[in-house]
């Protein structure tokens, strides 16, 4: 049976509003589906990407971000698997170590100091330019986020003038940590990334509009 989760409103900026899903961990294999209980409608095809199979001692969560920019502007930033540091400020550097940017490409990411990690090797699992879906999994590196897999989807907001970004993940709970500790840490990183994305994509959209009208 799907684990029941609800979404709660978090702090909003003038550019975007962020929502975070409550978390759930399992001691047995179970299915988790992102609930459609927030006030921004989510298409069925989007929710399908955020249905996860949880193994023992895994947890998952979701962060939702609305952005005042068209999907095309946001996607042009998100789809760059080779350049996550464009909006992920905890990433110090990124190098593609195998592949040409298509599914199966491997990148090596180094993070800034102060985090309980040094680097991670990540594989591109989904890159869908039509439905605006990107997914990657962590397959190596020096970190504590074992079996981490993230899915990010973009779809137009109800008024058609903005973008709704949904990012969910599943990850092992590290030994000595609780589900709450693990999800609180990852949620903070994801939320900061998406708020940064909102600022960058919003600025890009405004500059594009100025260029068109000038």
Rounded Cα gap, residues 20 and 184, in angstroms: 10
pLDDT (0 to 100) of residue 214: 52
3-state secondary structure of 103: coil
Q: Judge whether residue 16 has pLDDT over 50.
A: no
Q: Where are the beta strands (DSSP E) in 45-148?
A: 51-54, 58-67, 91-98, 106-111, 119-128, 133-142
Q: What is the pTM of this model?
A: 0.83
Rounded Cα gap, residues 187 and 129, in angstroms: 26
pLDDT digits (tens, 9 = 90+) for 19-37: 665 555 555 556 666 554 5
pLDDT (0 to 100) of residue 55: 86
Virtual torsion, Cα 56, 58, 59, 60, nearest 10 deg: -110
pLDDT (0 to 100) of residue 11: 31
H or E stretch at 121: strand 119-128
pLDDT digits (tens, 9 = 90+) for 51-110: 878 888 999 999 999 999 999 999 999 999 999 999 999 999 999 999 999 999 999 999
Which residue in the block uniquely carries the two structure tokens 């999800």? 183
Going from the C-alpha of 15 to that of each of 114, 140, 167, 185, the distances in angstroms are: 28, 35, 18, 24
Q: Quick count: other Cβ atoms within 10 Å of Cβ 28?
A: 8
Domains and CATH numbers, the chain: 7-213 (3.30.530.20)
Indicate the range of 4-18, 69-83, 132-146 predicted with least confidence: 4-18
Average pLDDT over residues 42-47: 83
């Amino acid at each position: 049976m799907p684990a029941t989760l609800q979404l709660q409103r978090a702090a909003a900026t003038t550019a975007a509003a962020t929502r975070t899903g409550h978390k759930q961990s399992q001691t047995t294999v179970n299915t988790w589906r992102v609930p459609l209980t927030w006030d921004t409608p989510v298409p069925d095809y989007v929710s399908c990407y955020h249905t996860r199979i949880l193994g023992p001692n895994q947890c998952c969560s979701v962060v939702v971000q609305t952005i005042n920019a068209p999907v095309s502007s946001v996607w042009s930033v998100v789809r760059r698997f080779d350049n996550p540091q464009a909006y992920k400020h905890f990433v110090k550097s990124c190098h593609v170590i195998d592949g040409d940017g298509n599914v199966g490409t491997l990148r090596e990411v180094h993070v800034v100091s102060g985090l309980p990690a040094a680097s991670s090797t990540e594989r591109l699992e989904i890159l869908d330019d039509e439905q605006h879906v990107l997914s990657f999994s962590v397959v190596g590196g020096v970190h504590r986020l074992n079996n981490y897999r993230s899915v990010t989807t973009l779809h137009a907001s109800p008024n058609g003038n903005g973008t709704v970004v949904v990012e969910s993940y599943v990850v092992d709970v590290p030994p000595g940590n609780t589900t709450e500790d693990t999800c609180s840490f990852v949620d903070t990183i994801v939320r900061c990334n998406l708020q940064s994305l909102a600022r960058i994509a919003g600025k890009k959209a405004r500059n594009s509009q100025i260029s068109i009208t000038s």
